């Protein structure tokens, strides 16, 4: 009888430890997914800003040369590209956040 109780207690302790370990692993995976979404969003934001700044400089040169129509088109194009990449980055980050939250809630 004593051996059966010892084995039962050992099994309960092992399952408790395994559950705690699984929770830690699950949180680490969710954090990595969450961080990946943030990195992608930041990268796309920086890319959009670089493109917008480059087109703004070209727009300034065109405006200085008296080409108002070209300057306006370049400026609008840079704004559109920057806005599109911002939206895309936000969408990717939200998707990764949802996935990370599902992983955290499971179990």
Extents of the domains making up the chain: 2-105
* pTM for the full predicted model: 0.69
CA–CA separation, 96 vs 83, rounded Å?
Answer: 20
Average pLDDT, the chain: 85
**CB contact set of 26 (below 8 Å; sequence gap of 6+):** 103, 104, 106, 107
- Which tens digit of pLDDT belongs to each residue from 67-107? 999 999 999 999 999 999 999 999 999 999 999 888 888 86
- Which tens digit of pLDDT belongs to each residue from 46-73? 999 999 999 999 999 999 999 999 999 9
């Amino acid at each position: 009888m004593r051996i059966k109780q010892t084995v039962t207690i050992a099994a309960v302790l092992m399952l408790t430890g395994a559950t705690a370990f699984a929770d830690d692993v699950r949180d680490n995976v969710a954090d990595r997914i969450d961080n990946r979404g943030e990195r992608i969003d930041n990268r796309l934001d920086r890319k959009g800003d670089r493109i917008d700044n480059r087109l703004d400089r070209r727009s300034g040169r065109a405006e200085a040369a008296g080409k108002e129509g070209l300057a306006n088109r370049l400026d609008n194009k840079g704004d559109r590209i920057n806005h599109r990449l911002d939206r895309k980055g936000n969408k990717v980050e939200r998707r990764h956040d949802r996935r990370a939250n599902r992983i955290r809630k499971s179990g």
